[in-house]
Amino acid sequence: MKVHQIHDFHLKDESDFVQTQQSLKHKIDLSPSITPDSINTCAGVDLAYWEQDGEPYGVCSIIVIDADTKEVIEKVHSMGKISVPYVAGFLAFRELPLIIEAAKKLETEPDVFLFDGNGYLHYNHMGVATHAAFFLGKPTIGIAKTYLKIKDCDFVMPENEVGAYTDIIIDGEVYGRGLRTRRDVKPIFLSCGNHIDLESSYQITMSLINQESRLPIPVRLADLETHILRTFYQKNHV
């Protein structure tokens, strides 16, 4: 798969992070471009981390499934030392090098990528799902397992019904949704990544839910795969 080199990752400090986010923020496009009916393939993206000899390492898994049959048609991963330190609000800079490396290995070009992480639901609207879309050139969706509290704004818990949601509105703007994908299970936090609108993101996400998890199938599979890969690399000290 072709990946666009939007910027490098030789950034010096937080001011470089902010400047990069601001330069891309104004190019975010949340207009509808795809619907569940138009999708043939979709990909889940997740990362896992560990330390080895005092150095941080990570692995990224991308799993592509058939949108109709839900069968896995391709999976790739990348592993390496993490060179960007963790800074709140700038996680994408830490994760993107491995995401890009894994995406380049894809023979399939997924119609949409779903990330284990935030998109527009972010301090600067630049969560990993949004940021990654500029490199991937594809619609992206953010699926977070925990709520990122912004400007001291809490979310309203959705009703205990499958598909129930409450929009997360901050300063009059919709950042995302608290979404109940299964009864009696904690909600997930859905937000647009890029090149997609919130309603399409919602419909696509719900079309990929089964009884095994509150997460969409490709995200859950990528999450499971990263744990397997992390254990393998830890044991083999690669």
Name the binding residues for Mg(2+): 46, 116
Instruction: List, as residue ranges, the binding site.
Output: 46, 116
Residue 115: partners with Cβ closer than 8 Å, 6 or more residues away: 44, 45, 46, 127, 128, 129, 132, 140, 141, 142, 143, 193, 219
Structure tokens at 178: 């608290």
Element (H, E) at 59: strand 55-66
Residue for token pair 């666009």: 4
CA distance 64 to 72: 6
For residue 6, the one-letter residue type is I
Q: How far is CA 12 from the centre of its chain?
A: 25
> At 99, is the secondary structure helix, strand, or coil?
helix
Structure tokens at 127: 């969560």
Structure tokens at 209: 């839910």
| Contact (CB, 8 A) for 106 and 62 | yes
| Contact (CB, 8 A) for 84 and 92 | no
